[in-house]
Amino acid sequence: DIQMTQSPATLSASVGDRVTITCRASQSIGRSLAWYQHKPGKAPKLLMFRASALDSGVPSRFSGSVSGTEFTLTISSLQPDDFATYYCQQYNSYSLSFGQGTKLEIK
């Protein structure tokens, strides 16, 4: 099975900051990676797929990139609504898997 290692587990930042979250796959998955935003008590929300394609309605301050098996999610200028937990998910195999999550907190 493909393991996804996400870092950091927690990230403290302020409104307006630029932040980056990293997800590393245990083997090559091409660009088969999605990112989700999850707030307590709500349904997770798809942000991005194919490593860097924004889902409909997702603000352009979110971006994604890939280098080999390392994927990054960048938020260029944090807004108050962005404080949440973020997960990566690989879909290169039928056995799907998530990273452990990154909780983005207000500093």
Partner 1 sequence: ELQLVESGGGLVQPGRSLRLSCEASGFTFDDYAMHWIRQVPGKGLEWISGLTWDSRKIVYADSVKGRFTISRDNAKSSLYLQMNSLRTEDTAVYYCAKDISPNSGNFFDSWGRGIQVTVSS
Binding site for partner 1 (CB under 8 A): 1, 34, 36, 38, 41-46, 49, 55, 87, 89, 91, 93-101
Separation of CA 92 from chain center:
16
CB of 55 to partner 1, least distance (A): 7
In terms of CB distance, is 80 or 94 closer to partner 1?
Answer: 94
Distances (CA, A) of 97 to 4, 58, 74, 78: 7, 23, 21, 27
> Of 13 and 46, which CB lies nearer to partner 1 in the complex structure?
46
Task: Reduce the DSSP state of residue 25 to 3 states and report it.
Answer: strand
Query: What residue has token string 């999850």?
Result: 38
* Residue whose CB is less far from partner 1, 17 or 58: 58
Nearest distance from residue 71's CB to partner 1, in Å? Answer: 13
Minimum distance, C-beta of residue 40 to partner 1, in the bound complex (Å): 10
Q: How are beta strands 102-106 and 10-13 bridged, if at all?
A: parallel
Both tokens assigned to 60: 């352009």
